[in-house]
Structure 1
Amino acid sequence: MSKSDIDSALQRWQESGLISAELVERLQAEHDSSQQARRRRFLQYAVSGTAGIILVIAAVTFFAWNWPDLGPGVRTGVIAGAGVGTLLLGMRLENARRFVPVTYALQTSGLILLLAAFMYSTEAWGNTTAGGIAVGLLALATPAATIPVFVRRNAVMPAVSAALAYVFLAAFLFRAFDLDADIVIWILDGALVATLAVLGFLLHPGRAESVPRGALYAFAVSLYAGYPMVGMTAVGPLELDDNAILALDVWLLVVTALALWGIHRAPAALRSARYVHHIAASVLLAIPLGFGTTLGVYELPPLGAAAVIAAAGAAGLWYGLARDARVLVLCSCATILSAAWYLGVDEGERLGTVLALAFTAILFFWVSTRLGRTRES
């Protein structure tokens, strides 16, 4: 609203006797002060943004000029310094409570840069050397130092740091002990199980009311971290080869079952309809896992593989319509569409495929009518 609109509205309210002349003057003065502060803030952003761009240009020029001449240790320090600076910048901006998602991205980028520095440090110091052990200890200390700080600030970054903590732990094990990859995987599996057990204890029904959201987020992120963990364990130490995807299928069922439990059976303090987003993610993950299982492990024909994927999408669609969960309905439709698309591309000249695609189209039309009825009611 422009200043003239505000002045005319205040004048109209004063003439109607709704507010006094004194209040009009106070409101106009407050609005003028707010506008001046907003203009100053805009100028600050403009000047600081320009300074930041100039700094980036200067840094790029410096690295393009000197990077080949820098030693591996100096390069490691530069990457680590950039990570620390990015992390602190994100935390500083978060304190201002503006552009909060951007601050989370900055902090996450800072942690990733630190991780990259620890891994790149192998160019300067080999594993199990004094330098390598020192870097490994720094990698181990990073999540231990950041998670307590993040817990006191917000509920998102503890979960992000918990997810990256497994990679930091792997960096520590490689740099400090130079362990075999299979041993590292088993240790990471143990850390994951221990983390889930501790978080599960904190989320126990008797303690749930005092648990911050960060614990829930960390538990959810750890569950999703289980996908690469399970995959690496199945391919590496267990040597399941092509059957490794079956382990991922089992983990998918575990995550989905926990989400359903959280929606329907969890204690009141933990129960939430928002867990439907995890079911939506499971429906989407069913696309690659379903195709990999049906075609790679069981060697089903294309029609059978598409039917399995479509069944997963149909189950999600039925549940999403019953719960009026838009995100689940959209993900389920995408799953069904992927099955129909695969079938159409692979079996494009057969009548059965045409009928299957026609049935899919009819299904989507029916879904649209159901959605329309839901909104009208």
Structure 2
Amino acid sequence: MKFDNIIIGGGLSGLTCGIKLAEQGKKCAIVSSGQSAIHFFSGSFDFLGKLNGQEVKNPLEAIKTLPDSHPYQRVGVENIARLAVEAPLLLNRAGLSFLGKADQNHFVLTPMGIMKPTWLTLDDFTRFEQKNTFPWKKAVILNFSGFLDFHTLFVQDGLKKFDVDSQVKNFAMKEFEAIRRNPSEMRSTNIAKVFDQGEDALNEFAEKVNLLSEGFEVVILPAVFGLFNKNVVANLKSKINKPLVLLPAIPPSVPGIRSQIFLRKRFEELGGTYFLGDNVEEGTLENNRLVAIHTKNHGDIKLEADHFVLASGSFYSKGIVATREKLYEPILGLDIDGDTDNEKWLDEKFFNDQPYMHYGVKTDSHFRALINGQPIENLYVAGSVLGGANALKEGSGAGISVLTSLHVAEQILK
């Protein structure tokens, strides 16, 4: 099978790149091994939340001080600023409405009751401009009886720091009796499916919320609405007579799975081919070019393309593998920007900046992968498989995934 572009990895990075290329009329395929990190999505995409341990107010200004090896610096500050404007527009075309600006972080309330700086937030969730204040002083925190993935006491404890008087209430509905008997079934996705099925359950739920919220200024609920239907949250907000704040629950994330579904749908509507549940096992290199890849499901059938993009993720997604003996990229054996001495991979102090978090596939200035120091002319690298950043410490993971993918797509389109 022959394509213009093949992307290895079907997460946020791969889908963003694929959509960008497909929007320009390119025939694209994505090979995805399975569930991506989008399923852990908290409702927001971070750009740059912290730098040297300090919270960042203006990410576009802050990235100017990052080291030259950082993906943002390598893309270029001006390019990052331009792509940061393009990114939410691309997401919106996929049916996902995100709000936020790259030159000013806003805040979202976490399940721990802490305000966290972020870049783009799905319109399901409430955005706050101030870190140290909560607009309401009397809150009710509601949860479904038997739903263990929403820790209401953590939320309540966090709100005390804002001098918020809060109360936790649990409630039951007949629609959830069957799944409530089995804790493994009382998960956010199963709750969301009930509300996706029609208005009756949502109307009953809204009535209960209005009754339980009497005497309170704001309602706080777990984000378990709108798995397949993005209008459920807006519909719910219109039925509740108090402001509604949704907080992420323990994954699987309902808004995350919805985002994955919508991004994949957009890619396929543009003519893209999405190979789900398939693993790339090896590639064929000729004259410093990748001419084809071989996958587990396709056997002897080669997948050929003019250009390839490696967006396979880092250690979590096995885009990079570490054993006691070595650190390596498992498909082509690409060069890794990381120490070969495994004693240097970790800092003995757990909360320090861990060296291995900065490791990734080496690339040239055009983000082309290197093997034995030489660039593969048509193989580009994007997302968390790149080295040069500790996305966890910086709060930069989604920004790196989206913006490097858009940049790589532009390199291919030139």
Larger gyration radius, structure 1 or structure 2: 1
Higher relative contact order (CA 8 A, sep 6+): 2
Establish whether TM, by shorter chain, passes 0.5.
no
Bigger strand share: 2
Q: Higher helix proportion, which one?
A: 1
Task: State the TM-score, normalized to the length of structure 2.
Answer: 0.21
TM-score by length of 1: 0.22
